Chain A
Amino acid sequence: MKQDIAWCPGCGNFPIRAALEKVLKELPVPAKNIVLTSGIGQAAKMPHYLPYSYFNGLHGRSLPLAVGIKLARPDLTVIAVSGDGCHYGEGGNHFIHTIRRRLDITILVCDNKVYGLTKGQSSPTTDLGMKNALDPQGNLNTPFSPLVTALAAGAPFVARTFAGDAQHMEQVLRESILFRGPSVVDILQPCVSFNKVNTYAWYRERLYKLEEPPRDRQEAMRLAEIWGERIPIGVFWRDGQFVCREIRETFRRPVTEAAVAKLLDTKCIMMR
């Protein structure tokens, strides 16, 4: 079925979709075992345009869905893809705590520094002073730092890439999905309709690539705080020692009558 894609011509979501499609196709994982979750917003439509199972849920809630799926089915590769408003704004609390859960979930954020679907209001990552319909005097809030927050929450894999650099994006996305643990990728993505500041050209003037991930978190944190005339992209932190939490296998292993009978013998009294 040829699908009508609902993004604006020139939207940064197109190259992200293409990179994701390529990376997922080449992934050493059966396609049937890949599940995408997303919230609401333009980026959250991503799963509709990729050939995998998905649960496109509510605004800000792609991560708890991903947690539930991963706990129920550790055999599935779980990727939550949504925008900056969804992951960092409405879902901010889930962003912090999902990272803390030590599960193998990939968090991809199409970060265009603006609300697209609702027509250009400030998002958590909008630059200070940027003017728009709801901030006619200019955005009054300090921009949220996704990488610093992810590091502070204990994310063992933190990266940033750019929708205008297909090769870099594929490399970082592949690495983030293959990394075993909660991984966060902030994808800088121009919004051609509502963000007239952070354009492809604006980014190209400023971006530079990290050759190697830093050796310690302090250095990662220092790099993560850099934003302005120079903006680093690449893998900021990859914890080679990280161990995911173990998940009990429960799918298709129902609780037996014998097990419940045994519980009744032992736990049918108030617990001490």
Chain B
Amino acid sequence: MEFNVLIGGEAGQGMFSVELELSETLSRLGYPFFATKNYMSRIRGGHNYHMIRVADRPVHALSGKPWDLVIAMDSAETERRHRPSLAADGIFLGADRVGQIEAEARETFRDPTASSTILAGLILACIGAEPSASRPLAPDESAARALAKGGEFAARWGLAARRVITPRPGDRCKLDGNQAIALGALMGGCQFVAGYPMTPATSIMHYFASVASEIPVHFEQAEDEIAALNMALGASYAGLRSMVATSGGGFALMTEAVSLAGMTETPVVVIDAQRPGPATGLPTRTEQGDLNFVLHAGHGEFPRVIFAPGSIEEAISLTRRAFDVADRWQIPVFILTDQYLADSVQVMEGRVPTKMLRRDYPVFEAGYRRYAITDTGVSPLTYPGLSEARVEVDSDEHTEDGKITEDLDLRVRMVDKRLRKLEGLRKEAVMPSRAGDRRAPTVLVSWGSNRQIVEEAVEALRAEGIAVSSVHFGQVYPLTAPMARGLARKRLICIENNATGQFGQLLRRELGLKVAHRILKYSGECFTVAELVERVRKILG
């Protein structure tokens, strides 16, 4: 049982507030839900819409089914665009009805913004939620009254208990993808973030800026992305685990500093929250178009690791891991996320694991050599000011002491030292996750944010008797032979939010796996489950 809601209108008309009120109350009452948004790069006007799926079981994707409820905050555009996808028994609330609710907010509550809470109350009433049940949990008395008022409207218009959904009590937490990344970073020991605002990465910076007064972390707004990554490298050199967050266009400016991290062996974590390019592209939409870019960013040859989380849980765990990997191997580590995952609000079942990574601050004698050549390729790392050991770091090719060198034999030894880390990195690669019928001849391959859309599609296909399984890569580089186990003889369908099937190409290059079919989407929108099921069906005939 589920209830799919779309709220549309112009930027600034309050759809976001409705989503916020609704999602907060839903999580308080224990309803599983998934919410995401489609918005324009403007502050007022245009057409934005928020999509909320409430269900009696955990959901982590848009169903793609017809809407059970469409609320239009505007006079025509929402109706024109979305009424055609209303379910046969769906409810359409037009601007006149919304107007009545807005009038109530002004007159009864003397607060025009109360209409968001009233609308949230109305939606809750549609799924049979008791407004009174949330009363003790509502943030304040007037909010509780506004929720109840929404219930009255629903009753008056005959919408109450249209689609009754039973909540599931238990521990859970409501997060969007960017908050999950920020939490993962904190657990990974991150204490320094520098950045330049860029959609859809900005809310990661907001999170750090907002907690910096409570916990020992820094957020510094840099003058540009070039400065941002250099600041992070400076902070990392000085002893803080550091991170930057940006999108493709900002990352373009960071690439020289990625190479600097490679050469100086300075640990750092880089978040690329992807959006459609090239250039400014579609600033507020989603895409997985930066894989090749991040894979090859930075001149010269040096090791790197790229993670691409497919869920809130993975956004936390892989970001946490990124700091550990970056620090132990002294390399840049990348997290590829995108607008879809960044902006999607989901319920995480159970408690957020707050296991913090521990770290130490080793002290060395005066003869310390920052770039001592070792079997693993990793040199002992310390920080300036802890002892007489000087920490000498250089962007030129350097000696073991960190001095500029043009000794070409040493150059070869240093390149080998840096690249040797890849052997160790391969050994501790994160294996892909599998779901569905492992014996099925067809495998849906995905990476990054598409994981849960694909997994739900696999369930739906299997329910129709179509044998499929899925494999999701949370680590997209390096790819290792064990990751390909059992895939060589399967029919692989690679699902990506880009136009050129970049991950499919990488699978072939790194693992020799041939992708039989590609399902690509590059309109700037995410996949829905229904759409994916349809496209897989077409392929399988």
Contacts and interface: CB of A to CB of B under 8 A. Distances in A.
Interface in B309-368: 345, 352, 354-356, 358-359, 361
A261 B260 contact: no
A6 to B, nearest CB: 8
Interface in A43-91: 45, 47-48, 51-58, 61, 63-73, 75-76
A53 B391 contact: yes
A61 B192 contact: no
Interface in A232-263: 248-257, 259-263
Interface stretch (A33-41, A194-202, A216-224): A33-41
Interface string B218-229: 101011101110
Interface stretch (B129-137, B151-159, B381-389): B381-389
Nearest to B176: A270
A264 interface: yes
B242 A73 contact: no
B211 A3 contact: no
A73 B231 CA distance: 12
A154 to B, nearest CB: 14
Contacts of A53: 384-385, 390-392
Contact of A254 (B191, B194, B234, B392): B191
Contacts of A69: 234-235, 237-238, 384
Interface string B61-105: 000000000000000000000000000000000000000000000
Given A53-B392, A94-B227, A264-B352, A32 B222 contact: no
Given A32-B387, A53-B385, A97 B210 contact: no
Where chain B touches its partner, the secondary structure class is mixed
B319 to A, nearest CB: 13
Interface of B: 20, 23-24, 27, 173-176, 179, 183, 186-187, 189, 191-192, 194, 206-207, 210-212, 214-218, 220, 222-224, 226-228, 230-240, 242, 256-257, 260, 264, 345, 352, 354-356, 358-359, 361, 383-388, 390-396, 401-404
Nearest to B172: A268
A271 interface: yes
A145 interface: no
A237 B386 CA distance: 35
A250 B385 contact: no
A257 B242 CA distance: 18
A93 interface: yes
A267 B209 CA distance: 12
B110 to A, nearest CB: 20
A250 B227 contact: no
Interface in A201-226: none
Given A32-B387, A267-B210, A259 B215 contact: yes
B140 to A, nearest CB: 13
B385 A33 contact: yes
Given A53-B391, A263-B215, A68 B234 contact: yes
B217 A68 contact: no
Which 5 residue pairs of A and B lie closest in terms of their CB atoms, listed nearest first? A68-B234, A64-B230, A97-B223, A68-B231, A53-B384
A57 B173 contact: no
A133 interface: no
A211 B487 CA distance: 79
B362 to A, nearest CB: 12
A51 B206 CA distance: 40
Contacts of B402: 54
Interface in A4-28: 6
Contact of B354 (A57, A72, A261): A261
B187 A57 contact: no
B355 A257 contact: yes
Nearest to B192: A72
B386 to A, nearest CB: 8
30 contacts: A3-B403, A45-B404, A48-B403, A48-B404, A53-B384, A53-B385, A54-B394, A56-B394, A64-B222, A64-B234, A66-B234, A67-B231, A69-B237, A69-B384, A72-B239, A76-B384, A96-B223, A97-B222, A248-B216, A249-B216, A251-B238, A254-B359, A255-B191, A259-B214, A261-B354, A263-B183, A263-B214, A267-B207, A267-B211, A268-B179
A271 B204 CA distance: 11
Interface of A: 1, 3, 6, 31-33, 35, 37, 40, 45, 47-48, 51-58, 61, 63-73, 75-76, 93-94, 96-97, 248-257, 259-264, 267-272
Contacts of B194: 68
Contacts of A270: 20, 23-24, 174, 176, 179, 345
A213 B174 CA distance: 59
A257 B393 contact: no
Given A255-B186, A260-B187, 6 more contacts: A53-B390, A68-B231, A254-B189, A254-B356, A255-B189, A269-B27
Contacts of A48: 392, 394, 403-404
A248 B384 CA distance: 18
B206 A57 contact: no
Contacts of B174: 268-270
Given A254-B359, A255-B186, A65 B233 contact: yes
B36 to A, nearest CB: 13
B283 to A, nearest CB: 20
Contacts of B214: 259, 262-263
Contacts of A35: 238, 384-385
B230 A68 contact: yes
A1 B393 CA distance: 17
A264 B183 contact: yes
A174 B23 CA distance: 59
Choose among B174, B240, B260 the residue with the greatest number of A CB atoms under 10 Å from its CB: B240
Nearest to A30: B385
Nearest to A65: B234
A86 B212 CA distance: 33
A254 B216 contact: yes
B90 to A, nearest CB: 27
Contacts of A1: 401
A75 B385 contact: yes
Contacts of A40: 395
A57 B228 CA distance: 14
Given A64-B226, A254-B359, A52 B390 contact: yes
Given A65-B234, A263-B215, A32 B192 contact: no
B179 to A, nearest CB: 7
Contacts of B228: 64
Contacts of A70: 234
B231 A64 contact: yes
Nearest to A258: B354
Nearest to B406: A6
Contact of A248 (B206, B218, B236): B218
A76 B260 contact: no
Nearest to B355: A257
A72 B238 contact: yes
Choose among A6, A256, A270 the residue with the greatest number of B CB atoms under 10 Å from its CB: A270
A97 B218 CA distance: 18
Contacts of A251: 238-240, 383
Given A55-B234, A65-B233, A69-B234, A32 B388 contact: yes
A257 B356 contact: yes
B306 to A, nearest CB: 22
B398 to A, nearest CB: 9
Given A48-B403, A57-B395, A250-B191, A67 B220 contact: yes
